[in-house]
Structure 1
Amino acid sequence: MLIGSDGKVYFDDGVATQNDLDISVEQFIGMTDMHGNEIYVGDIVQYSDQFYEYSMGGVTDRETGYIGSVVKNSGSFGILINRISYTDAHNDRYHAKDFVPFCEFDDPESDMALKGNVHENPELLEDKTL
């Protein structure tokens, strides 16, 4: 068995290489989601960002849900945000196409849910209205 630079698995029987299997190898990032599912590069996750919003009326708890794909950027794993799935905030901390490393989140493993992956569920990344 060989893993090519394209991430595909090739089987070699000594005579010919078979590359007709549609298999991609993804990198485990060492984290799980809130349900204990392992997270890999290429997975689609929803992250619930809980924060405080300050105004003249005081402090209010707010929450925004982001949908994005898990990527590695400059040596850090994080989420490439595709869209906002819900919000009750007036100002969002992150926007579509932002890369947010997991180290910026308070507790990513308890606030993140695996939804699918970019290979089997690309429709999850489509723009949708709230």
Structure 2
Amino acid sequence: MIKFIAWDNENGFYLYNVQDAYDTLSGFVKYDDGNNAEYDEDCFGSFLDNKRYAVEQFIGLKDVNGKDIYVGDVLKTESGRIQIVDKGVLASDRDNIISGFYANNINDDKPHTFSYDDEIIGNVHENPELLEENK
């Protein structure tokens, strides 16, 4: 299932299910507590086009606790912490382009393979201190 959340840069909170925004109708877009959100955008594209929001996609995986992993989440792994960086091109050659989600280890910038043992410990907006190198 393709899902998106949007970090509201002005108010400092997430809106969930922003892909379902339609004519500013409450009931589709939610706050993290599940309550209907108030917003002025009339469609999903308005969230994407508005610099007020950082829109982040669900990567299709859950962490060890069953929580959905989104672009921008910071995970704790057996090897340390990683950040879910982005969706982009992972590899390409003359005939093929492989795209998907990737993450780098914060300490050594090496790619990480996702595991069911990964645990979300925060995200880049609410917990920027997690992006600092381990000391």
Q: TM-score range by the shorter chain?
A: 0.5 to 0.7
User: Is structure 2 residue 68 aligned with structure 1 residue 68?
Assistant: no
Cα shift at 1:5? 4.2
User: Is structure 2 residue 16 aligned with structure 1 residue 4?
Assistant: no
Q: Which residue of 2 aligns with 1:25?
A: 55
Contact 1:77–1:101, Cα closer than 8 Å, also in 2: no
Contact 1:34–1:112, Cα closer than 8 Å, also in 2: yes
Cα shift at 1:101? 4.3
**Following superposition of structure 1 onto structure 2, how do residues 1-130 of structure 1 map, counting pairs within 5 Å?**
1=41, 2-5=46-49, 8=51, 22-48=52-78, 65-71=79-85, 72-74=87-89, 75-83=99-107, 96-102=108-114, 108-109=115-116, 111-129=117-135
Between 1 and 2, higher relative CO (CA 8 Å, sep ≥ 6) is seen in 1
Contact 2:82–2:112, Cα closer than 8 Å, also in 1: no
Q: How many residues align?
A: 81
Higher relative strand content: 1
Q: TM-score, normalised by structure 1?
A: 0.55
Cα shift at 1:114? 0.2
CA offsets per residue over residues 78-129 of structure 1, 9 Å max, x none? 321102xxxxxxxxxxxx1112343xxxxx12x1000100111110111232
Give the structure with higher Rg (CA): 1
Q: TM-score, normalised by structure 2?
A: 0.53
Identity of aligned residues (%): 37
Please list every run of 5 or more consecutive structure 1 residues that lacks an aligned counterpart in the other structure: 9-21, 49-64, 84-95, 103-107
Please list every run of 5 or more consecutive structure 2 residues that lacks an aligned counterpart in the other structure: 1-40, 90-98
